[in-house]
Amino acid sequence: MTRNALGLFRDPDSALAAAGRLKGAGFERPELMSPIPIHGVEEVLGPKKSVIKRFTLVGGLLGAISGFTLAAWTAVLYVHPTGGRPIITLPPFLIITYEMTILFGILATVLGFLISARFPAIRERIYVPETAVDRFAVVVACSSDDLLQRAESILHEAGAEEVRRIAEGDS
Amino acid sequence: MQTEVRQARFADVNDDVVRSLVVTGRNYYIALGIAGFVTLTCFFFPWFYQLYYGIGAAGMNSPTVWGTYLASFIFWIGLSHSGTLLSCVLHLTNSEWRKAMYRSAEAMTFFSLFVAITMVMVHIGRPWFIHWAAPYPNQMGLWPNFRSPLMFDVMAIMTYLTGSGIFIYMGAIPDFAAVRDRTTGWRHHLYVLLSLGWRGTDKEWHRLGWAYTFLAVLIIPLAVSVHSIVSWDFALSIVPGLHQTIFAPYFVVGAIYSGTAGIVTVMFVLRKYMNFEHYITKLHFDNLGKLLLLLSLLWTYINMLELFTGWFSGTSTEYEQLKYKLTGFYAPLYWEMILFCAVAPLLLISRKFRTSFVPMLILSIAINIGMYTERFLIVATTLSRQYLPGSWRVYVPSLVEISILVGSLALFVTLFLLFVKIFPSISIYEIKETMGVPKKHGEHHDT
Amino acid sequence: MNFIDRFMASWRKYRKPGYYEEFDYAWTMTVDLDRCTGCGACVTACQAENNIPIVGEKELGRGREMQWIRIERYWEGEYPNAKLSFIPMLCQQCDAAPCETVCPVSATYHNQDGLNAQIYNRCIGTRSCAVYCPYEVRYFNYYDHHWDAPLEQQLNPDVTVREKGVMEKCTFCVQRIRQAKDHAKDDGRRRVKDGEVQPACVQTCPSEALTFGDRKDANSVVAKKMNDPRAYHVLEETNTLPSVVYLKKVRANAD
Amino acid sequence: MSVSIVHTLRVLRPAAMIALVALTGLVVGFYVNATFFPGTSPEQPINFSHRIHAGENQIPCMYCHVQARRSISAGVPSVNKCMGCHAEVATDSPQIRLLASYFETKEPIPWIKVHDLPDFVHFTHKRHVQADIECQTCHGPVETMDVVSREAPVKMGLCLDCHRKNEVEHGTDCWTCHK
């Protein structure tokens, strides 16, 4: 069973430094938890990519297509000539297209966010309530007791205020 | 040590916000009771009366078939314009002062939109068939008419409601998580669901940041489009005084203007009654005041342009329209609007005025009264004077209409009062960001 | 390839203005203002034919009268030298009608006879068509109207009674046009003949100021009247292409 | 410590179950009500059976509903027409005696209209009969019914589908059917 070493820090810089050292020591990518977004994580732990932008783009394109199709197709399905305008009237239909582009873009962004950040959390995940207030935590998964001890010592060295062991799914 | 002080303050933010949600004073219940009662008696009862008897309960007549309901609709849509739009713009430009106020501003957007949609329901003759304006397959094989500016409205407002609802929710996820840890009982379960299991890991922050920024980018053009589309409800007609190219920017500016004034009002109330004096400060009022001044000047400029283009057109209908607006039956209202929205805001030039709370409150309310008048005049002055002089007729709102107007304000207040007890009305994590990040031990001793 | 061709064909088809140049009939009314005496018989006839509610004194005072055709009176000059002129105003059945585009639920649209149709039971009562109409000839049902006994006996079964919250307007007595077409079909004829159908107002007008017919038929009465040099459209500058043609009043001692 | 929404979902399960049951009940109830209690087969003054007349005895529809081919409404036959046969046929049956009593007192039978269209619809039987549309298209299999009920959904969709399929001239123009 995988166990986790956890270090609590009072400031983000020390936490980040500790995470960097752990990574340097060959541990799996440590996880940071914080009450506010920490800047400079990517410099220490490597760049992060998110798929959200692709979701937004695809959603927007899909919205544009479906928006215009909705307007034009439904106008053709039951033809109601109005005001001497063509059945497929471009300027108003482009407005519908515009709105639907944004609507689908927004919905796709949300979907992308939920998928890429793996929400909602169905499986129990490690959490440290102090990090929602004013502590910065570094969590690293260790497969053996040896590694666990090494990780703890690294965390202590980095100036952790408190070091704990947590098992996955422990509540 | 300074770090100690700062860390203590971090916890204070959580305490303050959780307290604002959990601890409920007697005054809150009294306020909620009054607002709910007024909503019931002044909004719902007259509305049911009107549903039973028909739109005839309102004061509308043959040329002026649109009245205060539509004016209220534009007003509420306008009020919705500052919250999310301003929040998005300030988010993208990394403005520090946004962070204390944006949550309640966005809530204002959301609830204004809600009230605006109820105003549409009140406005139309057969609201029980309103679903016909929604595109869905049905046995009649009939679809809404997408050539209609009213359909643009339906699509735009639904998109805006979805967008601003998602935006305010997404920004609040970390706060729900913070509140979740401190609450028990039904509240705990509510916040567990709302926070989706947020843990505040670096990955989650990264994803949230991106998604939030994308939403902001999408919502800014959306918000601009919403009010320009509302203006096209009018500008696409051929009624003199409504058929104006200036209407889209006019409406957008007016919307942001009245919305910003609305934010000032809400800020004042939150600061005073939710004990957020530390977070909502003179700085916010100063900045909002500057914004208001800018918008008031823009608004005045567009109003002058509207008069000018009407005069420059040289057609008899436009002349008549202008003359009626400036000197006719509704002229006192017109000049009241000029006083409240163009002249009075000039006081904002003074920094002392901008940083005094009560005068700002009074001015913000005056601006919104003026802006309501503007919307009323757009409908009333133009429709009562159209092409054929044979059917000119003045329109005066009836008691039912006035009551529903008052009731819609109460409905908004009720919704807002419920909101402040469910949503953290200031953003916990962003307030913390503005407080400064804690530094390493040993660095930055007091200077 | 076939799909693309079909798509392009329908695209071209639907990018053309609907029915704009190819009406089956182009029903037209001419109003000779020289002949109009302002007697109001047309208003009454319309009231009887189309089940138009009687709103009563109080509602009339509040500006909620219902008259699908109304006589507008215009005075020129001061009392001793005052001149009075009348202009009957009814739905102009515009070919480029502003009211049609604005309806969100397609309750009003243009049909193949060049008529501006209003489907009452589709109407949700946004009243935007009345705002967009420059002629102010759309009337809104502010209440559920009722007919005191025995007036309900004279309701026309071919015309529906409108509910509260619904917009209504002149239809050129579509029930009569429908009947005329029905008869033409029964007789095995393809088209309705000129003079075979008349709206109630035209039928009633004692001075024959109003005429009705198909302007596509060059020999019809209306087509001839439209060539009169006095012919004009009301509010022509709004470019609504009305189907009601007015013939200007000519004054003997025009100054 | 760990976090997940599962626990809360578990807590909310009873509430969700109640909501689900209520929703299912509503849907099922609506369906059952619409299917088994349509309210469109009223009890008529005389238990006239279309099954016996149109079904077993093969009397053509137009024999009784004479107006259908030349009028807007199909019309109900006069009591006289009923008596044309029933002066001889099944005179002993209590229902026929009831019919005869209407005939003797010279009163019309207060039939209740089953296939009633809203006031805003213009429909002529004439056009449709002349176009050889089967009565059953809109009225359902009347010849199998003891008590007539509205089986075909006589709604706008039905009219439109048929008008589209048969390419009726201006069949989708609103003013063809609405007045």
Summarize the confidence of residues B152-159 as an average pLDDT: 94
* 3-class secondary-structure state, position A6: strand
Where is average pLDDT lowest: A44-48, B163-167, D27-31? A44-48
Q: Is the pLDDT of residue C129 over 90?
A: yes
Could you give the CA distance from residue A92 to residue A103 in angstroms, rounded to a whole number? 17
Q: Chain B residue closest to C109 (CA)?
A: B145
Summarize the confidence of residues B302-330 as an average pLDDT: 90
* 3-class secondary-structure state, position C246: strand
Mean pLDDT of chain A: 87
At B1 the pLDDT is: 34
Q: Residues A63, A109: one domain?
A: yes
User: In a mutagenesis test of the A interface, which of C8, C14, C23, C115 is the best target, namely the one with the most A β-carbons within 10 Å?
Assistant: C14
At B6 the pLDDT is: 45
Q: How close C201 gets to chain B, by Cα (Å)?
A: 20
Summarize the confidence of residues C44-72 as an average pLDDT: 91
The terminus-to-terminus CA distance of chain A in angstroms comes to 15
Could you give the CA distance from residue B439 to residue B445 in angstroms, rounded to a whole number? 10
Q: Which residues in chain D touch residue B193, judged by CB atoms under 8 angstroms apart? A: 5, 8-9, 12
> Which DSSP category does B120 fall into?
H
CB contacts < 8 A, A to C, total 56
Interface ipTM: 0.90
Q: Residues A60, A101: one domain?
A: yes
Nearest to D107 by CA among D46, D165, D60: D46
Band of the pLDDT at B266, cuts 50, 70, 90? confident
**Do C96 and A84 count as a contact with CB atoms less than 8 A apart?**
yes
Q: Which residues pair with A139 in a beta bridge?
A: A6, A31
Summarize the confidence of residues C142-158 as an average pLDDT: 90
**Do C17 and A84 count as a contact with CB atoms less than 8 A apart?**
yes
Q: Does A95 touch chain C (CB under 8 A)?
A: no
Element (H, E) at B237: none
**Do B65 and C130 count as a contact with CB atoms less than 8 A apart?**
yes
Mean pLDDT of chain C: 90
At C18 the pLDDT is: 62
Where is average pLDDT lowest: A85-89, A126-130, B341-345, C46-50? A126-130
**Do C136 and B150 count as a contact with CB atoms less than 8 A apart?**
no
- Cβ-nearest to D4 among A79, A121, A170: A121
Q: Residues A63, A104: one domain?
A: yes
- Cβ-nearest to C101 among A78, A82, A87: A82
More confident of the two residues B35 and C20 = B35
**Do C17 and A76 count as a contact with CB atoms less than 8 A apart?**
no
Band of the pLDDT at B447, cuts 50, 70, 90? very low
Q: Is the pLDDT of residue C254 over 70?
A: no
Nearest to C10 by CA among B143, A81, A72, B145: A72
> According to DSSP H, which parts of A26-170 are helical?
41-45, 52-77, 90-116, 145-157
At B5 the pLDDT is: 42
At B445 the pLDDT is: 39
**Do B145 and C135 count as a contact with CB atoms less than 8 A apart?**
no
Look at strands C139-140 and C167-168 and give their pairing: antiparallel
Portion of chain D with pLDDT greater than 70, in percent? 98
Q: Which residues in chain D touch residue B187, judged by CB atoms under 8 angstroms apart? A: none
Nearest to C97 by CA among C205, C255, C242: C242
Chains touching B (at least 3 CB pairs under 8 A) are A, C, D
Dihedral over Cα of B418, B423, B424, B430: its sign: negative
Q: Residues A141, A110: one domain?
A: no
What's the angle, vertex CA C91, arms to CA B123 and CA C76, rounded to 5?
A: 105
Q: Token digits for D69?
A: 């081919």
Could you give the CA distance from residue A105 to residue B167 in angstroms, rounded to a whole number? 13
- Cβ-nearest to C109 among D118, D119, D174: D174
Q: Which residues pair with B211 in a beta bridge?
A: none
Q: Is the pLDDT of residue A23 over 90?
A: no
Q: Is the pLDDT of residue D142 over 80?
A: yes
Q: Residues A44, A58: one domain?
A: no
Q: How close D171 gets to chain B, by Cα (Å)?
A: 13
Of A118-132, B361-375, D161-175, give the range with the top mean pLDDT.
Answer: B361-375
Do B122 and B184 touch, CB atoms closer than 8 A? no
Torsion of the alpha carbons at C86, C89, C94 and C99, rounded to the nearest 10: 140
Could you give the CA distance from residue B122 to residue B162 in angstroms, rounded to a whole number? 22
> Residue A139 sits in which domain range?
3-48+123-167
Q: Chain D residue closest to A126 (CA)?
A: D2
**Do A81 and C98 count as a contact with CB atoms less than 8 A apart?**
no
CATH of B7-134+143-435, one of 3.30.420.80, 1.20.1630.10, 3.20.20.150, 2.60.40.420: 1.20.1630.10
Other Cβ atoms less than 10 A from the Cβ of B306: the count is 17
Could you give the CA distance from residue B33 to residue A2 in angstroms, rounded to a whole number? 54
CA atoms within 13 A on the CB side of C115: 22
- Domains along chain C? 23-247 (3.30.70.20)
Where is average pLDDT lowest: A124-128, B197-201, B232-236? A124-128
**Do A121 and D1 count as a contact with CB atoms less than 8 A apart?**
no
Do B275 and B420 touch, CB atoms closer than 8 A? no
Q: At what angle do helices B247-273 and B202-235 cross, to 10 degrees?
A: 130
At D152 the pLDDT is: 73
| Domain tally, chain A | 2
Look at strands C27-32 and C244-247 and give their pairing: parallel
More confident of the two residues A83 and B373 = B373
Quick one: how far is CA D110 from the chain centroid?
18
Question: Rg of the Cα trace of chain A?
Answer: 25
At B441 the pLDDT is: 58
Q: How close B159 gets to chain C, by Cα (Å)?
A: 17
Q: How close C100 gets to chain A, by Cα (Å)?
A: 5
Summarize the confidence of residues D79-94 as an average pLDDT: 88
CATH number where A155 lies = 3.30.70
At C6 the pLDDT is: 87
* B110-143 CB burial, b ≥16 within 10 A, e <16: bbbbbbbbbbbebbbbbbebbebbebeeeeeebb
> Which DSSP category does B341 fall into?
I
Dihedral over Cα of D79, D82, D84, D90: its sign: negative
Model confidence over B179-192: pLDDT tens digits? 988 888 888 888 99
Instruction: Give the residue carrying structure tokens 């001075």.
Output: C207
At C19 the pLDDT is: 63
At B208 the pLDDT is: 92
At A135 the pLDDT is: 86
Q: Token digits for B246?
A: 């200036």
- Cβ-nearest to B140 among D3, D7, D156: D156
CA atoms within 13 A on the CB side of D120: 15
At C20 the pLDDT is: 59
**Do B211 and A80 count as a contact with CB atoms less than 8 A apart?**
no
At A27 the pLDDT is: 84
Model confidence over C155-209: pLDDT tens digits? 999 999 999 999 999 999 999 999 999 999 888 887 899 989 999 999 999 999 9
Could you give the CA distance from residue C112 to residue C24 in angstroms, rounded to a whole number? 6
Model confidence over B203-212: pLDDT tens digits? 899 999 999 9
Torsion of the alpha carbons at A121, A122, A126 and A132, rounded to the nearest 10: 30
At B440 the pLDDT is: 67
